[in-house]
Structure 1
Amino acid sequence: MKKGVLLVNLGSPDSPEPKDVKKYLGEFLMDERVIDIPFVARALLVKGIILKTRPKASAAAYKKIWWDVGSPLIVLSERLQSKIQKQIDIPVALAMRYGSMTIKKGLQELVNKGVNEVLLFPLYPQFAMATTETITVLAEELRQQYFPNLKIESVPAFYNKSDYIEVLSNSIKHHLEGKNYEHLLFSYHGVPERHIRKSDITKSHCKIDGSCCATPSKAHEFCYRHQCYEVTRLVAEKLKFKEGTYSTSFQSRLGFDPWLQPYTDRTIERLGKQGIKNMAIVTPAFVSDCLETLEEIAMEGQEIFHEMGGKDFTTVPCLNDDDEFVDLLSNWITEWTKTPVEVI
């Protein structure tokens, strides 16, 4: 069998213009694993309310961070793909869950190169319904409909892999070297609390009560909240952070349902009010810088901090196409080519 790899990231509008942003948001928000309510209610909410107001504001945000060469997330993902391809001798394709760089196109590209066994690689360290699961489910649907002779294996969440933690820790250490910061905030993309409960394979463990994430359980294999807190813990342990000098928060909430807390914007506000003058922030739920890191955190977060009396606000870039990260993913892929039964 000829092997190939399909890297999959979130996606981006084709341009920062409102019409393209509206099309992108429509696809994204109509995903039943993103807004997990009945179809009719979801359509009324998305098409009847959100898409009539949000695209213009989102387009303005995208314009703030858009590069001359295109969407930062797309460009950075392409750089990552290119570097990995130079290190391994099997085809590496790139796709996005939403937008014009579809998973179907990515699979077709590999099939055209003679590939019949694919390593599907969601570029998310933590598992979540709205990220990893929606990618793997769609890929299987496409396989059944268009590529019945294709074998697909998926890379599981790698949040606690020791070599990943080492690469992430090295990146944080490098970018904060020489910085005089008092507090490091680990900000992860938020999800509704109900997503955590829906992903609980035990149907009883996840209570989001402050203790369940620290109590060993099979539920942790698919618990986004646990996996986020675990990344913070492992990195803090690796870098020997002192207790009280770091914390975890969640960003990008939507709607009025309870989302994972504490919220990043309110945490930044609180740190400023407490007299913290110099803070840093890292976003380990993303491997590529994007709207949520470049605009929501680096711009809006900094503005909030300054309004609360803060002085220096340092953002740690995502791993992007960092050479150590490229080496790590290339090594995992190479291991997969040698051990077809197990993924990394």
Structure 2
Amino acid sequence: MNHKPEKTLILVNLGGPRNTEEIEVFLTDLFTDPFVFDLPLPEFFRLPLARFIAKKRSPKVQKIYESMGFGGGSPLVSETEKQAKSIEGILNLKTNINWTVKVAMTCGFPHIRDNEFGKPSPDTIYLPLYPQYSRSTVLSTLNHLEKKFNECPVGSGGYVPSFAADPKFHQISARFIFEFFTGLLNPADFLHFPNVSSTLDWKEIDIVFSAHGVPMRLIRKGDRYMQEIESSVKGITEELRHLGFKGTTHISYQSKVGPAKWTEPSSLQMIESLAKEGKQIAVYPISFVSDHLETLEEIGEQFKDLALETGAKSFTRIPAFGVYSPFIEYLAEKVLSVDKSIHHCVCKEMGGESLTSCRFK
């Protein structure tokens, strides 16, 4: 009897608490990660400080999650699981391989350090769900895997690199935005699907591409995240022009935490400035592929309230991809084309730092 070969794909995301009880654990994982909470402090001081901040922020964060209506937690894990199921179906349909697609998080549960997630190889492939490379996301993921397996996965045949500069990603993103404004998306596929005014001429609006911000300390260390964002927006804007868009696009950064200098301009400043000019504003979450706290609450509520209170003619939140078929098929293609063709240190090139076990040193 012939058996199909088996492969595993692991979708990696930052994570989010699935319920109230997981909030402090999630924040502790987040703030103790040296590539996220990057401070020029010795570990014996940085780690206790990170745990203290996580514990102190938990009550405030709990109230925010409670207001979202997802049982006191974040929908990010469940949304990523939907994406995993969709990709699994495509991979099994397109190949003569028995694919299993799992979900792992670098903060919270299910955690990437759990035993069920095996060593990166051509049969166990890791796909970080971050379009743009950053030390705080992709390099953090690679660091977790290196600590677990004593080997950096880049070049192992089990790692799918970020895709911010890929023209096909730009085309899919522009098509998604176009289909959103022209009523071609299925609202049932999305959380809290936004309404688009029937009087809105999407071709003339201002689109703000809002990315998750990072501390400038990371950029000074060689993180090319801002360049990755700019590459994405440039390519998507060009594709939108082909679809008839005549308005203006902007780049901004959201979700700043703490007093340190972060990437700018801030989305709050950008929204307020455009609103005071009476603009019709739409915000697209350029660095997110599924809806969660930052898209639903921060963009959908905080940004919306600010825009309308300060004079915007209209405000529209464009959702994240979720299980949008062309995007899911694109990810499946990236998985099927993964091989050992990477022959240089992506971490050094894109993040300014090689990991200890880099095979290209």
Superposed pair shares fold, TM > 0.5: yes
Is 1:194 equivalent to 2:217 in the alignment?
A: yes
Paired position in structure 2 for 1:223: 224
Q: Is the 8 A contact 2:213 2:262 kept in 1?
A: yes
Deviations 1:154-192, CA, capped at 9 Å, x for gaps: 222200111111111111111123643521100000001
2:81 corresponds to which letter in structure 1?
A: E
Paired position in structure 2 for 1:279: 281
Paired position in structure 2 for 1:56: 59
Change over 3 Å in CA distance of 1:191–1:2 after alignment to 2: same
User: Matched residue of 1:98: which SS?
Assistant: coil
1:70 and 1:46 map into 2 onto residues whose CA distance is 21
Paired position in structure 2 for 1:99: 108
Paired position in structure 2 for 1:174: 179
Q: Is the 8 A contact 1:2 1:116 kept in 2?
A: no
Identity score, percent: 28
Q: How do 1:102-113 and structure 2 match up within 5 A?
A: 102-105=111-114, 108=116
Change over 3 Å in CA distance of 1:152–1:99 after alignment to 2: farther
Change over 3 Å in CA distance of 1:101–1:253 after alignment to 2: same
Q: How do 1:118-267 and structure 2 match up within 5 A?
A: 118-144=124-150, 153-177=158-182, 179-181=200-202, 182-199=205-222, 223-240=224-241, 245-267=248-270
Is 1:81 equivalent to 2:84 in the alignment?
A: yes
1:252 and 1:68 map into 2 onto residues whose CA distance is 22
Paired position in structure 2 for 1:47: 51
Q: Is the 8 A contact 1:187 1:249 kept in 2?
A: yes
Q: CA RMSD in A?
A: 2.7
User: Matched residue of 1:132: which SS?
Assistant: helix
Q: Is the 8 A contact 2:17 2:73 kept in 1?
A: no
User: Matched residue of 1:93: which SS?
Assistant: strand
Q: Is the 8 A contact 1:188 1:249 kept in 2?
A: yes
1:129 and 1:109 map into 2 onto residues whose CA distance is 22
Gaps of 5+ in 2: 92-96, 183-197, 344-361
Change over 3 Å in CA distance of 1:242–1:317 after alignment to 2: closer
Question: Alignment partner for residue 28 of structure 1, among 30, 45, 62?
Answer: 30
1 or 2, which has the higher helix percentage? 1
2:141 corresponds to which letter in structure 1?
A: I
Count of residue pairs brought into register by the alignment: 309
User: Matched residue of 1:51: which SS?
Assistant: helix
Q: Is the 8 A contact 2:31 2:54 kept in 1?
A: no
1:191 corresponds to which letter in structure 2?
A: V
Question: Alignment partner for residue 316 of structure 1, among 315, 318, 323?
Answer: 318
Paired position in structure 2 for 1:8: 12
Change over 3 Å in CA distance of 1:266–1:136 after alignment to 2: same
Change over 3 Å in CA distance of 1:36–1:322 after alignment to 2: same
1:125 and 1:293 map into 2 onto residues whose CA distance is 16
Gaps of 5+ in 1: 200-221
